[in-house]
Structure 1
Amino acid sequence: MKLLTIIVRPEKISNITAALYTIGVTGMTISDVRGHGIQKGVKTIYRGVEYQTDFVTKCKIETVVNDAIYEKAIEVIIDASRTGQVGDGKIFVTEVLDVIRIRTGQHGQEALDQ
């Protein structure tokens, strides 16, 4: 199993979640986050005054997928989120040793299945 941590533009969330649903991924956690990468913030104009914002607003999606659909999940995430511009985001992949459903005590894939 893999934990996918996806940092993307907020306007791409609905595209990504819809794409993940089509391949059978239903469980995910979505958070609003701020940070910066290569772009190091943005300049905005408010009431005629230019401001430098050090951190850009992004969204973070976290989901665990089994190894059988891992490659497909990466593919649909990229297709749903790519604009070709700086700031499209990143996907971090972490190996998951186990998942435990607290209510039932199920482990592994059983804990992920509905």
Structure 2
Amino acid sequence: MKLIIATIKPFKLEDVREALTDIGVRGMMVTEIKGFGAQSGHTEIYRGAEYAVNFVPKVKLEIVIGADMADQVVETITNTARTGKIGDGKIFVLDVAQAVRVRTGETNNDAI
């Protein structure tokens, strides 16, 4: 099993969700986050005063899937979330040692 952690631009969330559903992903966790990387924030004007926004809003997706689907999920997220501009996001793939469905006690691939 693999855990895929992806950070994407918030307006791309629904497109990515639809694309992942189309390839058979049955669930994901979504968290609104703030961060910076190469994009490193920007300046805004509020009530006439300019101030720096150091953290940019992002959305973090966490998806646990069978190892056989990992490459397809990464490719789908990459192709769907890409705008070609700085700040499109990052994807990390980690190994998952165990998964348990709390309701039924199913484990590993049966739990996801």
Matches within 5 A, 1:75-114: 75-112=75-112
For 1:25, the equivalent position in structure 2 comes to 25
- Pairwise CA RMSD of aligned residues? 1.0
**CA offsets 1:30-71 (integer angstroms, 9 cap, x no match):** 110011111221111223332101111101111111111111
Runs of 4+ aligned structure 1 residues displaced above 3 Å come to: none
For 2:37, the equivalent position in structure 1 comes to 37
CA distance in 2, matches of 1:68, 1:92: 16
Gaps of 5+ in 1: none
**CA offsets 1:44-101 (integer angstroms, 9 cap, x no match):** 1223332101111101111111111111111110111001111000001110011111
Equivalent AA in structure 2 for residue 13 of structure 1: L
CA distance in 1, matches of 2:82, 2:48: 32
Gaps of 5+ in 2: none
CA distance in 2, matches of 1:101, 1:77: 25
Q: Percent identity?
A: 41
Q: What TM-score comes out, normalization by structure 1 length?
A: 0.93
Q: Secondary structure of the equivalent of 1:69?
A: helix
How many residue pairs get aligned? The number is: 112
